[in-house]
């Protein structure tokens, strides 16, 4: 019984999270085969909190740098990029870090579908607007 309860508390990861991101992105106008997902995961709530704190203290995490490269490529190719995960604060920090890493690069061709809470999206929406990213927020299904 304990194993079943522990399994229920496990956040979305891997293929399940990727599928949920695609579902959320499918409601965006113009969504089609030219899209890519970037799941933001952590092993646990504590790991997510630790990564979030590290990002605030030390700057962009490796995940932010990886996302920054994907954002740059998606902007050049006019591909919709769907980003999100089960930890809204971590998702916010990683996306903000990626936007910061890409400071000065043209991002007008990028459609960023941010899958997370409206509250966590506010700061990201403002940062995205400053660099010309078309920002769309959706809830995780």
Where are the alpha helices (H) located in the chain, listed in sequence order?
A: 2-9, 14-25, 45-58, 62-77, 88-101, 118-130
How confident is the model at residue 31, as a pLDDT?
55
pLDDT in tens, 87-118: 999 999 999 999 999 988 888 889 999 998 88
Across 71-82, average pLDDT: 90
Q: Average pLDDT over the chain, rounded to whole?
A: 85
pTM of the model: 0.85
Could you give the strand order of the β-sheet that contains 111-115, starting from the edge strand earlier in sequence?
Answer: 35-39, 80-84, 111-115, 134-138
Portion of the chain with pLDDT greater than 90, in percent: 45
Across 37-59, average pLDDT: 90
């Amino acid at each position: 019984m304990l194993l079943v309860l522990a399994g229920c508390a496990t956040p979305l990861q891997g293929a399940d999270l990727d599928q949920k991101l695609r579902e959320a992105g499918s409601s965006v106008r113009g969504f089609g085969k030219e899209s890519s997902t970037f799941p933001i995961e952590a092993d646990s709530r504590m790991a997510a909190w630790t990564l979030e704190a590290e990002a605030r203290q030390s700057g962009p995490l490796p995940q932010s740098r990886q996302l920054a490269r994907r954002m740059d490529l998606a902007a050049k190719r006019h591909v919709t990029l769907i980003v999100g995960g089960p930890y809204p604060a971590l998702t916010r920090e990683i996306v903000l870090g990626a936007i910061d890493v890409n400071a000065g690069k043209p991002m007008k061709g990028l459609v960023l579908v941010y899958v997370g809470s409206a509250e966590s999206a506010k700061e990201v929406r403002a940062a995205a607007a400053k660099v010309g990213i078309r920002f769309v927020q959706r809830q995780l299904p």
